[in-house]
Amino acid sequence: MGQLPEFSSNNALRSLSLSGTNFSGKLPESIGKLMFLRDLTLYDCYLFGSIPWSIANLTHLVNMDLSDNNFSGLIPPFHRFGVPNLTYLNLEGNKLYGSIPSSLFTLPSLRGLSLERNQLVGKIDEFPNASSSLIEKLELKNNYLSGPIPKSILQLPRLEWLSFEDNCSRSMKLDMFFKLKNLRGLYLFNISLLIESDNKSRTFPQLRILILSSCNLTELPEFIKTQDKLTVLDLSNNHIHGVVPNWLWKSSLQLVDLSFNPIDFPKQLPFGDANFSSPVLTELYLDSCNIRAFPEFLRSLENLQVLYVSNNRISGAIPNWVWKRSLSDLKLANNHLSSLVQDLPNQSSTSSQASLLAPFCKMSQLSYFDASYNNLSGTIPSCLGNMSALRFLDLHGNNLSGILPRFSKATPLWLLKVSENILEGELPRSLAECTRLQVLDVGNNMMHDTFPFWLENLPDLAVLILRENRFYGQIKHLKHKIGFPTLDVLDIASNHFSGELSIDFLNATQLRSLKIGGNRLEGKLPRSLANCTKLEVLDLGNNMIHDTYPFWLAKLPSLKVLILRGNRFYGTITGFDAGSGFPKLRILDIASNNFSGDLSIEFLQSLKAMMQMTNDEKAKLDYIGGQNSIVRRYYQDSVTIVNKGVEMFYQKVLTILTCFDLSNNSFHGRIPEEIQILKSLRVLNLSNNGFSGEIPSALENIKDLESLDLAQNKLSGKIPPQLTSLTFLAALNLSYNQLEGSIPQSNQFNTFANDSYRGNPKLCGPPFSSKCNEVGLPMPPPPGEDEEDSWLDAMSIWQIALVGYASGLVVGLCIGYTVLNELGNKWVCKFRMYGRRNRKTSR
């Protein structure tokens, strides 16, 4: 990726168009020196930083398009410097924040303004001279705007296209938008619209596009009856119920979206009636409409190209008449479908599968096919590999068996997702000829093959997922260098790979997520991992890697998740250079290794991201994931951590989730007071070590702490009463230490049961039944109670394990670790293995 150069003032450049290129970095301030520039088009690049305010000096500028980059900061004050010729301004798809300056609407030549898909907030103020404005197109949706739409906007005489949303979900009257007599397109989102019941006498603008999504509608707006030129109608995400009336199907309609409404359809529509002009529908979206069968009226839509009916209750086989349409896009996900085709009439029981699949295999125009999460069984039709238009194939979450078909070189496939089936055999080598392939996901099957180095030359491959299969052998390249120059995600976890990870990651410069846990890898970590400078997630857990703590990974500027648990890492954690550390690491799991020594202050100081609190409200709702839009849509980073006493699988990882797990090692010495510098921690697990001394009261300063596990150590003294100030603390485990005195009683501590404190015979007070005497020690229990409590302790541990398994979780509670270590862990692992086998055989 290159960067834009500095510009000089003697440059007579009139047009700068670099859209869709790999230019990155900041837009130089010297852009303002291009005084003759009329066209600046830099959309879909990798530019970031603030938009330089000098850009407002370009008095000859007519068109500026900086959309779909990563620009942040405020919108430049164009009005201050004067851009009298600016006609089209497109800043959509960035990260601009702050309010929208109302002065933008007063630019004298402005005709089109697009600010959608940013982080703009607040309300838009009224602006003067609206009646003389030239604005024809105004796009403001997908921001964080609040407040009513300004009356000034509703007075723009030339406005033809308006998109707006209100995140306060306040009520607005739909009629107010009909004052715009030239309006041709209206997009309203997240607005509670009020529809006048008596508007028959009104005159309405003749819309071409009407989108009223998430507007709290309960009925179809009857003014649609007057819209004879309507081509696009989107009423998705409302509460519209009842039977769809005939008048909705305007003959001009090309696209209709009624998704996420509890509506009903008549069995037949009068599409063949001479008095009824049939629509020329090419796209129909009926996702989540509570449909139980394919609506019969679809038979009459001969021009239909796109059909979405996902998230419904459609069962059985797909009717054969569906395959007689000229469909290019068909989405059937999340239904109860059992077969791609119906048995043809008069077909004998010995008919070949090829004959039954003939209608499906003739879908020469099919480009997008999603039948994920159904009950499809049998083998994948081999004809899928020969479909010359097929770009997207998603069959994951079914009961498909057999092998993957061979894909011809002519297939323009860019996504193949067949995970969560029971497929066997090898990956077809023909996939190496699918040169447009970007996403390949065969995870959670029973495929048996070696690592597919032969895919490394695919020019656009971004996601490769092989997890939870039976891939085997060494991950060792003949050239010792791993290719995959465009790979963003490599997930090969839970397979049978073995040997040393003796490959060079020098060429994998785009790698962002690497998951190789749950294999049989050994030896040392390749130091070339430090070359993967975009790496955010590195999961090496549950292997046999034998190495010291990889402090050298601190060179990775974007690393957020590091999982080393369940290996053979050893030694003390030292070796950090002064001032060095992990700038973004928020999840560090080094549990179940052979680390030893003190918990050093320099180690804590290296965890720089854990020392920082997140105040950005939007960032708190964001998930770990790359910038690649394809990757973010079809892959989500996940992680398994011990949180609140349970080994939990997080399907998505919030960027604010901060976890520090050192459990089951050989650390010793005191827990330093400096642990308080990790103030953004939410999960802290130091259990099963040899820590001694008192529990540091400084833990009270980790205000967001939700889970604290210090079990199975040698901690002594009293439980600091300051810990009761941790009001988010939902799980506490101090069991099996040498603590004494009364248990603090306040706030969250009032919610913890006996399990949090077991194995500390000198503790007293609630929740224990033993009371404290005058010196703060437990009073002797009645005769026979100790033996009963001991039996109940053991039973409690097994009950917890059983409850965890029944809820789909493998419980890793550190209480009672000595009981579970030799017998219990094997017992739980057997249940885990049985659960996986049972899942396969029950499909």
6-37 pLDDT, tens digit per residue, is: 888 778 889 999 888 878 889 999 998 888 99
- To the nearest 10 degrees (0 to 180), the angle between helices 825-841 and 785-806 is 30
With a CB cutoff of 8 Å and minimum separation 6, the contacts of 569 are: 545, 546, 547, 548, 549, 590, 593, 594, 595
* pLDDT attached to residue 351: 47
For 684, counting Cβ atoms within 10 Å of its Cβ (0-12 exposed, 13-18 middle, 19+ buried), the class is buried
- Examine residue 87 and state whether it is found in any structural domain, yes or no: yes
For 480, the 3-state DSSP assignment is coil
| DSSP label of 255 | E
Closest alpha carbon to 381 in 416, 405, 356 = 405
- Examine residue 75 and state whether it is found in any structural domain, yes or no: yes
Query: Rounded CA gap, 31 and 670, in Å?
Result: 57
For 664, counting Cβ atoms within 10 Å of its Cβ (0-12 exposed, 13-18 middle, 19+ buried), the class is buried
* pLDDT attached to residue 24: 85
- Examine residue 566 and state whether it is found in any structural domain, yes or no: no
- Examine residue 1 and state whether it is found in any structural domain, yes or no: yes
Positions in the chain whose pLDDT score sits under 70: 1, 80-82, 167-170, 197-201, 270-278, 343-356, 477-482, 506, 578-579, 615-621, 626-629, 643-645, 781-843
Q: What is the DSSP string of 396-459?
A: -SSEEEE-PPP--TT----EEE--SSEE-SPPPGGGGG-TT--EEE--SS-------GGGTT-T
Output the six-digit token pair for 754.
Answer: 């006996």
Domain count, the chain: 1
The type of residue at 20 is G
Tell me the CATH number at 65.
3.80.10.10
- Examine residue 42 and state whether it is found in any structural domain, yes or no: yes
- Examine residue 688 and state whether it is found in any structural domain, yes or no: no
Locate all alpha helices (DSSP H) within 518-619, ordered by sequence: 601-605
Calculate the average pLDDT of the chain. 85
* pLDDT attached to residue 165: 83
Closest alpha carbon to 737 in 720, 713, 762 = 713
With a CB cutoff of 8 Å and minimum separation 6, the contacts of 570 are: 546, 547, 548, 593, 594, 595, 596
* pLDDT attached to residue 621: 60
Asked if 399 contacts 422 with a C-beta cutoff of 8 angstroms, the reply is yes
For 125, the 3-state DSSP assignment is coil
The model carries a pTM of 0.83
Query: Rounded CA gap, 124 and 137, in Å?
Result: 16
Place of tokens 């130089």: 28
Long-range contacts of 697-704 (CB under 8 A, 24+ apart): 697/722, 697/723, 698/673, 698/674, 699/675, 699/723, 699/726, 700/676, 700/725, 700/726, 701/676, 702/675, 702/676, 702/678, 702/726, 703/679, 703/728, 704/613, 704/658, 704/679, 704/680, 704/728
Locate all alpha helices (DSSP H) within 46-172, ordered by sequence: 78-81
- Examine residue 501 and state whether it is found in any structural domain, yes or no: no
Kindly report the CA angle at 136 between 279 and 39, in degrees rounded to 5?
Answer: 115
> 122: domain range?
1-168
CA distances from 40 to 31, 107, 161 (A): 10, 18, 23
Output the six-digit token pair for 32.
Answer: 């303002």
With a CB cutoff of 8 Å and minimum separation 6, the contacts of 180 are: 154, 156, 159, 162, 205
CA distances from 595 to 433, 542, 545, 567, 695 (A): 46, 15, 13, 10, 21
For 127, the 3-state DSSP assignment is coil
Query: Rounded CA gap, 109 and 112, in Å?
Result: 9
Query: Rounded CA gap, 334 and 412, in Å?
Result: 25
User: In the β-sheet with 399-402, what is the strand arrangement from edge to edge?
Assistant: 377-379, 399-402, 422-423
Asked if 361 contacts 335 with a C-beta cutoff of 8 angstroms, the reply is no
* pLDDT attached to residue 833: 32
- Examine residue 27 and state whether it is found in any structural domain, yes or no: yes
For 755, the 3-state DSSP assignment is helix
